[in-house]
Amino acid sequence: MSAVKERILGAVCVMGEADAENVWNYIRSHFSSDFWENIEEVAPDEWDLKMLDDISKSSDCKEFLSSEDALKELGL
């Protein structure tokens, strides 16, 4: 994964749900809808659930960015 993709993923991971949805809507509105409509939505597996549980218990994972700050960080 490229550094740019890692930064995008990292920014979205630390956002609140509403801000992440705003970023997703921004991405969908600026790129071809054909691609986005074909992304399969899957339920989290055991590893994902473990990571989510670990994150919920970690005080280091409680800092969130606003969508405005994330867009600035991403240069959008």
Annotate 29-58 with three-state secondary structure. HHCCHHHHHCCCCCCCCHHHHHHHHHHHHC
**What pTM does this model have?**
0.42
- Its domain, for residue 20, covers 3-73
Residue pLDDT, tens place only, 28-47:
788 777 776 777 888 889 99
Number of domains, the chain? 1
- Below-70 pLDDT ranges, the chain: 1, 36, 62-64
